[in-house]
Amino acid sequence: MDATIAYLLTLAVYYFIFNIQTWGLNLQFGVAGILNFAYIIFFAVGAYITGTFALPHADPFSGQTYFFGFALPFPIPLIAGGLVAAALGLLVGVIALKRLRSDYMAIVTVSVGAIVYDIIGNYFPLFNGQDGISGVPFPLQTRLGLDYNTYQWFFMGLAGVIMLILFLIIQRITHSPFGRTLRSIREDQDVSEAFGKDTFRYRMIAMAIGCFYAGVAGGLLIEYISAFNPSGWTAGETFVLFAALIIGGRGNNWGAALGALLVPVIFQEATRYLPQFPNSDTLVPALRNVVVGVLLIVTLWFRPQGLLPERKAKFPKVQLDAPENKQEEADVALG
Q: Identity (one letter) of the amino acid at 101?
A: R
| Chain segment 161-185, per-residue pLDDT in tens | 999 999 999 999 999 999 999 999 9
CATH topology of domain 3-334: ABC transporter involved in vitamin B12 uptake, BtuC (1.10.3470)
Query: What average pLDDT does the segment 94-122 reach?
Result: 82
DSSP class of 306: -
Size of the chain in residues: 335
* pTM for this prediction: 0.88
Q: Are 83 and 61 in contact (CB under 8 A)?
A: no
| Chain segment 8-59, per-residue pLDDT in tens | 899 999 999 999 999 999 999 999 999 888 899 999 999 999 998 988 766 6
Q: List Cβ neighbours of 199 (8 Å cut-off, separation of 6 or more).
A: 185, 189, 192, 193
Domain boundaries, the chain: 3-334
Q: Are 158 and 13 in contact (CB under 8 A)?
A: no
Does residue 320 surpass a pLDDT of 50?
no
- What is the average pLDDT score of the chain? 84
CA–CA gap between residue 285 and residue 276 (Å, rounded): 10
Q: Are 74 and 54 in contact (CB under 8 A)?
A: yes
Q: Are 58 and 69 in contact (CB under 8 A)?
A: yes
| Chain segment 265-310, per-residue pLDDT in tens | 887 776 666 666 666 666 666 777 787 788 888 888 888 888 898 8
Least-confidence region, from 15-24, 164-173, 230-239, 325-334? 325-334
Q: Are 27 and 170 in contact (CB under 8 A)?
A: yes
Does residue 331 surpass a pLDDT of 60?
no
Q: Are 166 and 209 in contact (CB under 8 A)?
A: no
CA angle 95, 100, 103 (to 5 degrees): 115
Outline where DSSP puts E strands in the chain: 56-58, 65-70, 133-134, 227-228
CA–CA gap between residue 39 and residue 267 (Å, rounded): 20
Indicate the pLDDT class of residue 82, thresholds 50, 70 and 90.
very high
